[in-house]
Amino acid sequence: TMDVYFGWRHLSQVVGNKRMRMTSSFQWLLSTFILLYLMNEVNSQKKGALRDLKCVTNNLQEWDCSWKAPLGAGRGTVYEVCIEDRPRSCYRLEKTNIKIAALSPGDHEIRINSLHDLQSSMSKFILNERNVSLVPDTPKILNLSADFSTSTLHLTWNDKGSLFPYHSNVIWEIKILRKESMELVKLATYNTTLSGKDAVRHWSWTSDMPLECATHHVGIRRYIDCPHFSGRKEWSDWSPMKNISWTPDSQTKVFPQDKVILVGSDITFCCVSQEKVLLAQIGHKNCPLIQLDGGNVAIEIHNISVSANSGTNVVFTTEDNMFGTVVFAGYPPDSPQKLNCETHDLKEIICSWNPGRPTALVGPRNTSYTLFESFSGKYVKFKRVEALTNESYQLLFQMLPNQEMYNFTLNARNPLGRSASTILVNITERVSPHAPTSFKVKDINSTAVTLSWHLPGNFAKIYLLCEIEINKANSIQESRNVTVKGVENSSYLVAVDKLNPYTVYTFRIRCSTETFWKWSKWSNERKHLTTEAIPSKGPDTWREWSSDGKNLIIYWKPLPINEANGKILSYNVSCSSNEETQSLSEIPDPQHKAEIQLDKNDYIISVVAKNSVGSSPPSKIASMEIPNDDLKVEQAVGIGKKILLTWHHNPNMTCDYVIKWCNSSRSDPCLMDWKKVPSNTTETIIESDQFRPGIRYNFFLYGCRNQGYQLLRSITGYIEELAPIVAPNFTVEDTSADSILVKWEDIPVEELRGFLRGYLFYFEKGERDTSKMRGLESGRSDIKVKNITDISQKTLRIADLQGKTSYHLVLRAYTDGGMGPEKSMFVVTKENSVGLIIAILIPVGVAVLVGIVTSILCYRKREWIKETFYPDIPNPENCKALQFQKSVCEGSSALKTLEMNPCTPNNVEVLETRSTVPKIEDTEIMSPVAERPEGHSEAEPGNHVAVSYCPPIIEEELPDPAVDEAGGTAQVIYIDVQSMYQPQAKPEEEQDSDPVAGAGYKPQMRLPINSAAEATAVGDDVDKTAGYRPQANVNTWHLVSPDSPRSTDSNSEIVSFGSPCSINSRQFLIPPKDEDSPKSNGGGWSFTNFFQNKPND
């Protein structure tokens, strides 16, 4: 029953497994064959003949032919088998098969006689090789072994090659079944060629599933493809199965352990466990379990990702335990990058490289490197240093004597693979020396030094190329290359020449080889001062005669450092003529000037500079000055900080030209500096740090002849012109009614700061504290400007002015550098006497005319007047006193007279001012008004009361509307006199009073003349001024006038008319005339004012 069971089991498996199609078709053939055989047997029985001769061979040498016995044939049947075309080839036998030697190709007739119970029957068969089947013997597995660590099965068997012709091809088919359920996991074919001898064949297979976790079964069969055999070839039977299983021998339960695999590959882990495995995980990730035989389970990991340093953990968890393994997923070593081999010293080769992509494998799994040199066969291994991650790795290889070419192969290897890089070098061309050490500098002479340094290394066979860097302060860095013969571990010497004496140099050096590969690092720097040499030139010398002409002052300039060649200690000066020589020796260095008293002026002066090594060649200069008669002073202005001087070539000048200069404000002998230029030049640019803008310098061009120097040109110049810093001082020389004469002074050179190009004179009508004065430049049309370009002109008369008018005068100087500041002054022109006379005469004439007309009218109408104003019996209705009462009751018209009151304070102030400040007024007319509003406002407290700046005409200011509010004066009068009428009459009264009060006014008319004269003469003593006294009189006169019986004033007359009546009577008396007459009078009044007030517009 067991067999049956297995048989069923086997069949079902065969049917179920598609991969075993070969096997199943074979079995189908077999069963068909059996069926045919049975049918044939039935037929034979009928005939009583032999049937079905069938031949097979397993070695091609011998055929095994068999046939079916006829029906009824049993034991004791003898068969005679004869092969017709083979001599003596009949065999008697009692079996139904016969082994015959293989027949040659082609048809062969076989006769088989069967003898049974004296009955005989004969059968004939045609036998051909084509009908013979080749069925090889079943192969036998010699050995099946397993390498559990690698999950590899090793299979060996004997191919029995001796049985078959040489070079027959054999196909082996091997099947691997897993687990007790015999799941086919691998069906492999393996082709071999027979060698004519028996040979043991090997075949290995690596399982994806660790072999420990499941039993693996192996079987093999073969198929021989013999080329010369024309019959049918068939597979052998399967060999008996062999299996591999694992017997637990250690604690380990999970497989594989500590495996190193390539990132991205697939792997199966399994766990051998008696307990039920609940969970399997890799890293954080849970994996589905694959059940194996027993309690074993497996998991499959696809495309594994890279591991951390300590690997990826795979853990199987059971109820009360955990089992695990670690897998290391990484990469095979990258081929070493940037492999480079060089040497510092030709003793040791340093090969360095970059490992490339990290392998993610560390510790024992890390990449190991071996550097192999193929010419010598030597190698060195790299010692693992964990700290190195992706930095450059390096290996040292000891150089071999007499070998220059090195062929290095760097092998990298780790559990996942290997890689290599190669490099072929001529090591003498790959020398990168160490930095030179012990670098020293020694003097040879003042222009040459020796450099020495040490360079470790075996350079005996090559030349070194070294670069010397020479640095000098304030100079371009210089590099010089030297080639020196290499020596073994020694010092090198090289001379460096063409240096400057007494100069600090900084040297440093680096080396390479003649076949340049790399520079070494720079050596340390060394500073060195070269020794001194004699000065190469004499100092630049000039001389000046002292102002008295007796002493010669010799000047020289310190030698520049590149000509001094050392520290200059002293100078020797000598003056020699034909007869005598005077010397001054050992003048210590900081002194660059010497004075020698000389009897005559024809000497040759020579100056020599000395340092510790020796004296310079003398520089010579003649003392004589050759006079020049036609010398003009020219002007020049510089550009930037320079000034350009040009001159004509003069063939007489044989040695050189000298330009000396000095500040023009210094006294003689003056010398700031000088410059020598060769005799063939005709221009030079003078440049000096000492030049300042706005300072005037004198330049002198000397030409040199044999006998001495001749002054050729004298030039006054500025580096840059600036505007003057002061205004010209100017005064008013004379004033008339229509002109002013102004006179000014020169500006000192220091304050001019440029060449004076002219003056600008501005004038305009104006008074000191009016804000209109500001801004002369604003181009106002009423400012008149005169540009005085003749700088020798020192006076200016301004004509066509208005008389008795204040003028604002401003004067400023200018240079090409700009305008200087302003100086301003206020001047009042004298009064125009003709206009004044007219202004007086007309009102007087009008007044007289009115008086005459009035008198005539009064005379003619005296009866009517008497009736109206002075009747014998007054009409009460005409009485103004009654109307007054009425008016009071009616309204405010009467009160208008009182509206004058608010002006009273002004009047009081004006009066006080006049009496107290006459001095101020006078000083003000004189004071220069250079200062503008600011200064003015400061001075205000003092000036406050000086409302008018024209004291000479002060009483004309009274009628000035700004000042008078004239009611003020009237108010005073009103109060004193108790006259209600006075305020109303005031304008007329004033107008009229001018011409009438001739006695009071006369002094005033004289006043302008006097004051103008005195103003120029600085008339400070105001007390004496005739102009002032009348002012007081005028006031008195004003006060007195209304009552004065002497008054011929028309108003006075009206007053006398209206005096009996009340104030209101005035309105009735001359209403129309009152309106008109002030106007007409006002015209006369304003005619006078015309001169005075117009400027105030």
Partner 1 sequence: LSSAAPISPAEPISQAYSLALYMQKNTSTLLQTYLQHQGSPFSDPGFSAPELQLSSLPPAAVPFKTWHALDDGERLSRAQGAFLALTQHLQLVGDDQSDLNPGSPILLAQLGAARLRAQGLLGNMAAIMTALGLPIPPEEDTLGLVAFGASAFERKCRGYVVTREYGHWTDRAVRDLALLKAKYPA
Does 313 bind partner 1 (CB under 8 A)? Our answer is yes
* β-bridge mates for residue 323, sequence order: 316
Nearer to partner 1, 384 or 641 (CB): 384
Does 283 bind partner 1 (CB under 8 A)? Our answer is yes
Q: Please, which of residues 371-390 interact with partner 1 by CB under 8 A?
A: 386, 389
Q: Quickly count: other Cβ atoms within 10 Å of residue 479's Cβ.
A: 9
**DSSP notation for 812-833:** EEEETTEE---EEEEEEPPP-H
Q: Please, which of residues 328-347 interact with partner 1 by CB under 8 A?
A: 328
User: Contacting partner 1 (CB under 8 A), which of 325, 1033, 1041, 1050?
Assistant: 325
Does 149 bind partner 1 (CB under 8 A)? Our answer is no
Burial of 873 (0-12, 13-18, 19+ CB in 10 A): exposed
Stretch that binds partner 1, among 316-324, 346-354, 664-672, 739-747 (CB under 8 A): 316-324
Taking the complex as a whole, the smallest distance from the CB of residue 190 to partner 1 amounts, in Å, to 34
d(CA 313, CA 324): 7
Helices 967-977 and 1029-1040, packing angle to 10 deg: 50
User: Contacting partner 1 (CB under 8 A), which of 152, 281, 428, 664?
Assistant: 281
Stretch that binds partner 1, among 205-213, 320-328, 556-564, 668-676 (CB under 8 A): 320-328
Does 1078 bind partner 1 (CB under 8 A)? Our answer is no
Q: Quickly count: other Cβ atoms within 10 Å of residue 291's Cβ.
A: 11
Does 999 bind partner 1 (CB under 8 A)? Our answer is no
Does 539 bind partner 1 (CB under 8 A)? Our answer is no
H/E element holding 757?
A: strand 756-765
Nearer to partner 1, 149 or 736 (CB): 149
d(CA 569, CA 558): 11
CA distances from 651 to 654, 655, 656, 703, 756 (A): 7, 10, 11, 10, 36
Contact criterion met (CB below 8 Å) for 246 and 211:
yes
Nearer to partner 1, 208 or 258 (CB): 258
Taking the complex as a whole, the smallest distance from the CB of residue 364 to partner 1 amounts, in Å, to 6
Structure tokens at 67: 């046939």
Nearest to 584 by CA among 571, 573, 576: 573
Taking the complex as a whole, the smallest distance from the CB of residue 285 to partner 1 amounts, in Å, to 9
Contact criterion met (CB below 8 Å) for 116 and 213:
no
Nearer to partner 1, 324 or 693 (CB): 324
- Which DSSP symbol is given to 52? E
Contact criterion met (CB below 8 Å) for 555 and 547:
no
Nearer to partner 1, 286 or 597 (CB): 286
Does 359 bind partner 1 (CB under 8 A)? Our answer is no
Nearer to partner 1, 281 or 577 (CB): 281
Taking the complex as a whole, the smallest distance from the CB of residue 386 to partner 1 amounts, in Å, to 4
Helices 862-869 and 833-860, packing angle to 10 deg: 80
Does 748 bind partner 1 (CB under 8 A)? Our answer is no
Taking the complex as a whole, the smallest distance from the CB of residue 388 to partner 1 amounts, in Å, to 10
User: Contacting partner 1 (CB under 8 A), which of 312, 684, 897, 979?
Assistant: 312
Does 355 bind partner 1 (CB under 8 A)? Our answer is no
d(CA 1082, CA 840): 13
User: Contacting partner 1 (CB under 8 A), which of 308, 460, 837, 898?
Assistant: 308
**DSSP notation for 559-613:** PPHHHH-S-EEEEEEEEE-SS-EEEEEEEETT--EEEEE-SSS--EEEEEEEESS
- Which DSSP symbol is given to 621? E
User: Contacting partner 1 (CB under 8 A), which of 182, 287, 315, 399?
Assistant: 315
Nearer to partner 1, 283 or 1082 (CB): 283
Nearer to partner 1, 256 or 995 (CB): 256
Taking the complex as a whole, the smallest distance from the CB of residue 258 to partner 1 amounts, in Å, to 5
151 Rama class: left (phi>0) / alpha (psi -120 to 50) / beta:
left
Stretch that binds partner 1, among 57-65, 358-366, 408-416, 668-676 (CB under 8 A): 358-366
Contact criterion met (CB below 8 Å) for 213 and 173:
no
Q: Which residues contact 762 (CB under 8 A, 6 or more apart)?
A: 776, 783, 784, 785, 786, 808, 809, 810, 811, 822
* β-bridge mates for residue 657, sequence order: 677, 703
Does 363 bind partner 1 (CB under 8 A)? Our answer is yes
User: Contacting partner 1 (CB under 8 A), which of 274, 310, 581, 878?
Assistant: 310
Taking the complex as a whole, the smallest distance from the CB of residue 246 to partner 1 amounts, in Å, to 16
Taking the complex as a whole, the smallest distance from the CB of residue 25 to partner 1 amounts, in Å, to 48
Does 680 bind partner 1 (CB under 8 A)? Our answer is no
- 3-state secondary structure (DSSP) of residue 636: strand
Q: Which residues contact 337 (CB under 8 A, 6 or more apart)?
A: 353, 354, 355, 356, 421
Stretch that binds partner 1, among 325-333, 485-493, 523-531, 1024-1032 (CB under 8 A): 325-333
Q: For partner 1, what does the binding mask look like between residues 40 and 79, x meaning CB under 8 A?
A: ----------------------------------------
The distance of Cα 710 from the centroid of its chain, to the nearest Å, equals: 59
Does 150 bind partner 1 (CB under 8 A)? Our answer is no
User: Contacting partner 1 (CB under 8 A), which of 181, 291, 309, 901?
Assistant: 309
User: Contacting partner 1 (CB under 8 A), which of 210, 311, 457, 535?
Assistant: 311
Nearer to partner 1, 310 or 654 (CB): 310
Taking the complex as a whole, the smallest distance from the CB of residue 265 to partner 1 amounts, in Å, to 19
Angle formed at CA 1016 by CA 1012 and CA 1018, multiple of 5 degrees = 110
- 3-state secondary structure (DSSP) of residue 325: strand
Nearer to partner 1, 281 or 688 (CB): 281
Contact criterion met (CB below 8 Å) for 236 and 221:
yes
User: Contacting partner 1 (CB under 8 A), which of 7, 364, 560, 1060?
Assistant: 364
Taking the complex as a whole, the smallest distance from the CB of residue 366 to partner 1 amounts, in Å, to 8
Taking the complex as a whole, the smallest distance from the CB of residue 381 to partner 1 amounts, in Å, to 18
Q: What is the largest CA-CA distance in the chain?
A: 230
Taking the complex as a whole, the smallest distance from the CB of residue 318 to partner 1 amounts, in Å, to 10
Q: Please, which of residues 237-266 interact with partner 1 by CB under 8 A?
A: 251-252, 254, 257-258
Stretch that binds partner 1, among 59-67, 140-148, 301-309, 857-865 (CB under 8 A): 301-309
Taking the complex as a whole, the smallest distance from the CB of residue 257 to partner 1 amounts, in Å, to 4
d(CA 266, CA 206): 14
Structure tokens at 352: 């360095």
Taking the complex as a whole, the smallest distance from the CB of residue 312 to partner 1 amounts, in Å, to 6
Torsion of CA 1076, 1077, 1080, 1086, to 10 degrees: -120
How many residues make contact with partner 1 (CB under 8 A)?
A: 29
Nearer to partner 1, 325 or 1004 (CB): 325
User: Contacting partner 1 (CB under 8 A), which of 39, 87, 227, 320?
Assistant: 320
Taking the complex as a whole, the smallest distance from the CB of residue 361 to partner 1 amounts, in Å, to 11
Nearer to partner 1, 184 or 326 (CB): 326
Nearer to partner 1, 269 or 555 (CB): 269
CA distances from 160 to 87, 143, 225, 436 (A): 33, 15, 14, 78
Binding site residues, partner 1, CB under 8 A: 251-252, 254, 257-258, 281, 283-284, 307-313, 315, 320-322, 324-326, 328, 362-364, 366, 386, 389
